[in-house]
Amino acid sequence: MEFDLMTGGLTWKKSASLAQELEDAGFSGMLFTEAGSVPWMMIAAAATAAPKLHFATGIAVAFPRSPMISAQIAWELAQNTEGRFRIGLGSQVRGHIVRRYSATWDKPAAQMRDYVGAFKACIRAFRREEKLHHEGPYYNLSLLPGQWAPGRHDFEDVKVDISAVGPMMCRVAGELCDGVHVHPLHSQHYIENRLLPSLAEGAEKAGRSVDDIDLHIPVFAIVGDTPEERQRMVDVTRTQIAFYGSTPNYHFQFDDLGFEGMTPKLGAMMKAGDLGGMGDAITDEILDHFALVARWDDMADAIIKRYGGRASRVISYLAMGDISDNPKNLARWGEISKAVRAA
């Protein structure tokens, strides 16, 4: 099990310097989100500075980009990182796709299925395994003249992962993808009783095992030796859980655990602009399901106990903010990473 740091929105210079620091501290890699900034140049800067780290997007928004564009980017980053990159794609939500990107949004699971199929067709064509040919309900690709095809290289096993929450998208991941990015809002009940069974259904359709699918799991790891030291991360996590949990499609995350009605309650607070009340609504009992709270010396064991044997990579959701506030804690996060990797 590897231990990565989640980040994004960095300058190229900061991306490079942070990568060097993380590599020296013992981290496995960096996962770059896409929000206000695209991840590609940050990854290039980080990879040049830290030749041992692994890099991934978690996630890059798929639908506004042609599958050909995503495949070309992934191909180039795989080559230049010498195989230390894998692309993570996600659907985002309708409002962003339609109103921010002015792109097509229809049936996201079906569209993602076609997108991943088109992406893989591009990769096969780049490998010269076959001529580019993909005909689907959303994407049609059939032209790749030799002078427009990217050059061959030694790291052509380009991995593609997608983010998935609901059963339909999880089945797509199980059938077609190398891995799945688990949502930060997850409980063990969700992983065991919803995520893995849906992944297994998709995997069975493709004639493979659910064990063939890598799980990339962001973790709210709240660490500190005293309640006072942990308080800031606790507050941030309560607010983030409440924000994610206000999404109607995620209501089952609470309902399955016996916290019925939590999503509409949070949604009403969101509409009212009561962000403080949203955070306060996340009780200690709810927090324990969706986060890990431990002392510095105990956090690695807590991560291993909860995710060992399941996660291929755990990604610290909170370490970036903590390191920014307390640079001396970088070494302590590095010790957690080294312990998790050793186990």
Structure tokens at 75: 């191909």
Residues of the chain predicted below pLDDT 70: none
pLDDT of residue 288: 97
pLDDT of residue 69: 98
pLDDT of residue 180: 98
Q: How many CA atoms lie within 13 A of 274 on its CB side?
A: 11
Q: How many CB atoms lie within 10 A of CB 126?
A: 21
pLDDT of residue 224: 98
Global confidence as pTM: 0.96
Question: For the segment 325-336, what is each residue's pLDDT rounded down to a tens digit?
Answer: 999 999 999 999
Question: For the segment 268-303, what is each residue's pLDDT rounded down to a tens digit?
Answer: 999 999 989 999 999 999 999 999 999 999 999 999
pLDDT of residue 130: 97
Q: Does domain 2-221+292-342 correspond to CATH entry 3.20.20.30?
A: yes
Domain boundaries, the chain: 2-221+292-342, 226-291
